[in-house]
A and B are shown apart, each in its own frame.
Chain A
Amino acid sequence: MSSDTSKTENTKAKNTEEQNKEKAKENTIELKNVTKRFGKDVAVDNLSLGVEKGTLTMLIGPSGCGKTTTMKMINRLVQLDEGEIKLNGTSVYDIDPVQLRRTIGYVIQEIGLFPHFTVFDNIATVPRLLKWDENKIKKRVEEVLDMVTLDSSYAYRYPLQLSGGEKQRVGLARALGADPEVLLMDEPFGAIDPINRLKLHDSFLEIQDEIKKTIVFVTHDINEAIKLGDKIAIIKDGKLVQHADSTEILYNPANQFVESLLGQDRSLKALTLKRTKDFTSKENVFTVDKDTSQDNVLKQLQKKNEVIAFVLDKNEKLVGRYWLETGKKGKVEINYDKNPIMTEQNNTLNESLSNMFSSGEQILPVVNRRGKFLGVIRLSYIFDEFNK
């Protein structure tokens, strides 16, 4: 009898223990009442923040607000003065800092690729520190290079031989090298020109959809925060001002500071909450194979009473576009464009809208990061969204 009671008590204890564990597991990263001072200046002031497993939290605020300091306390590059930071329920101060950092991916604005290492060796850095088997490392490097859409010939190049966008992709690949659960990113796209930044955003979102890492991402660009973040944490003077998803922040800014951060064009920004892929359709879209002759395309278009044909290769990659134009004498001419303007699936509606304005097109083909054709977005779709 007595043994029975102890058994049930045991199971009870186990249950509560498991429940506690599960509760702690909900948030992969947990900051509790964290304070950091530099001399007399309070950089981070009693800040509490939880980051759910598999989500992307953007830390945003004016420069000097403590967002980078907050992030760097998670991998102990900065020591906290007060409070507690937990990773999967364990205080980061119970883990050796060097070991801790090997389990957390880290990307910074300067990228900091090791110039004397090949791309391969850069990506293999942490796996080698963790003493992975060389075959496993080789496989992993190929895998992450493919993930960031760099072909395997890049493995033996040196950082000096890469463009800015390529460097940033390798930086991301390196951070993913040892397949860490958590990524810390400090303005990773800050030094990239706007066009490449959009492309990188798009790739990054696609990759995150695939790998579902727990990410803390520091930025000072509100558009970037709205576009990328599952949650946005707005920080001012070391204090957390608002922590919510982008819709909540756009429609219910906590105070004037958040409003001013969002700027004047909030209704336009609301378009950034919508992704192009959700407005992409293949309805009434005419595509032809790369090998189809121009005359054949012309006949088919006239038969179907269409004016645009998108040209795909055998991997469904968009490689060109035909369009019909009525000439001076009413004669129909067919034109070919081998570099058609396109938009990527994770572009926000206002980015696609902006692409339409700048190109003068009302229909844009939509592709993924590998250039695969997914359908088209039409100006009318976006207006319908406005009218709602």
Chain B
Amino acid sequence: MNLFQYVSENFNNILGLFVEHFFLFLVSLIVTTIIGVTLSIIATDEGREKVGQVILSITGAAQAVPSIAVIALVFIYVGIGKFPAIISLIIYSLVPVMFNATSGILSVPKGVIEAGKGMGLTKKQILWKLKIPIAIPVIMGGIRSAATIIIGTAVIASVIGGGGLGDLVFTGLKLNRPEALIAGAASSAILAIIIDRILAYVEKIITPKGLKVEQ
């Protein structure tokens, strides 16, 4: 049976898994972005820059941890199903989000923050009017890596009952049906490309113009 035949015969099934995969991704990305950016903001608050440095070292090293290890650990402590799968995706993708958000905020020039403070901006204004907008390209970079990582890792998370396109891949593996495996992997890759394009567009829109002008 060739790939096209397989896809046309199982189109509805594949589409269903694709949508399921997308929702797994969407929930994980939203939660990980909120948690990751919030933690980074707290860790990089004035006078707490050292905490930020520690987070940079930890998240830098944590990028080397294999995703399967995180999934296995969550399986041991939380169990099986959609919820544990999402938890493992959130934990694993927190790493790039926090690494980028922390380094982005820490790399806002000291002079900019001091000038803002000296001119009478409140702490909140310094955060929302200076730090975040200036760090936006770096923060968005982290969110984009997280998106790609979540879509890829969600395939593996189907082993603990996450569902989604991983079901196709593992079915193909178990039943020795390469067309199922390829259909699953390719769909997940297509989803990753589409999402990355969308996020690249979002990044372009929300990056302040002054950061993009030619010198």
Contacts and interface: CB of A to CB of B under 8 A. Distances in A.
A126 interface: yes
B120 A161 contact: no
Given A110-B115, A118-B210, A158-B209, 10 more contacts: A106-B115, A110-B111, A112-B114, A114-B129, A114-B210, A115-B210, A116-B208, A158-B210, A160-B210, A161-B215
Interface string A121-165: 000011001000000000000000000000000000011110000
A204 interface: no
Interface in A94-114: 98-103, 106, 108-114
13 contacts: A77-B114, A98-B121, A100-B120, A110-B110, A110-B115, A113-B115, A114-B129, A114-B134, A116-B134, A116-B209, A129-B125, A160-B211, A174-B119
B141 interface: no
A114 B111 contact: no
Nearest to B134: A116
A134 to B, nearest CB: 18
A108 B118 contact: yes
B172 interface: no
Contact of A160 (B114, B120, B213): B213
Interface string B104-129: 00000111111111111110010001
Interface of B: 109-122, 125, 129-130, 133-134, 208-211, 213-215
A75 interface: yes
A99 B120 contact: yes
Question: Chain A CB within 10 Å — which of B113, B125, B134, B213 has the most?
Answer: B213
Contacts of B119: 101-102, 106, 125-126, 129, 174
A108 B210 contact: no
A75 B118 contact: yes
A117 interface: yes
Nearest to A99: B120
B120 A112 contact: no
A172 to B, nearest CB: 12
A113 B210 CA distance: 11
Question: Lowest 7 A-B CB distances belong to which pairs?
Answer: A110-B111, A112-B115, A116-B208, A102-B120, A112-B111, A101-B120, A106-B118
Contacts of B120: 98-103, 126, 129
A98 B115 contact: no
A116 B133 contact: yes
Contacts of B215: 160-161
B214 A77 contact: no
Contact of B114 (A110, A115, A161): A110
Contacts of B210: 114-118, 158-160
Contacts of B113: 112
A114 B130 contact: yes
B211 A115 contact: yes
Contact of B213 (A99, A112, A158): A158
Given A98-B122, A160-B210, A161-B214, A114 B114 contact: no
Nearest to B118: A106
A259 B64 CA distance: 60
Given A106-B118, A110-B114, A129-B120, A161 B213 contact: yes
B178 to A, nearest CB: 50
A112 B134 CA distance: 12
A236 to B, nearest CB: 25
Contact of A112 (B112, B129, B211): B112
A101 B213 contact: no
A114 B116 contact: yes
A164 to B, nearest CB: 12
Question: Chain B CB within 10 Å — which of A98, A100, A114, A126 has the most?
Answer: A114
Nearest to B130: A114
Contacts of B130: 114
Given A117-B210, A118-B210, A159-B210, A110 B109 contact: yes
A117 B213 CA distance: 12
Nearest to B111: A110
Contacts of A174: 119
A112 B115 CA distance: 6
A256 to B, nearest CB: 35
B212 to A, nearest CB: 9
A254 to B, nearest CB: 31
A45 to B, nearest CB: 24
A43 B139 CA distance: 38
A144 to B, nearest CB: 14
A388 to B, nearest CB: 44
A161 to B, nearest CB: 6
A379 to B, nearest CB: 42
B111 A116 contact: no
Nearest to A110: B111
A113 B134 CA distance: 12
Contacts of A103: 120
B111 A108 contact: yes
B115 to A, nearest CB: 3
B111 A111 contact: yes
Nearest to B208: A116
B213 A77 contact: no
A127 to B, nearest CB: 11
B114 A108 contact: yes
Nearest to A118: B210
Given A116-B134, A117-B210, A158-B213, A101 B109 contact: no
A114 B110 CA distance: 11
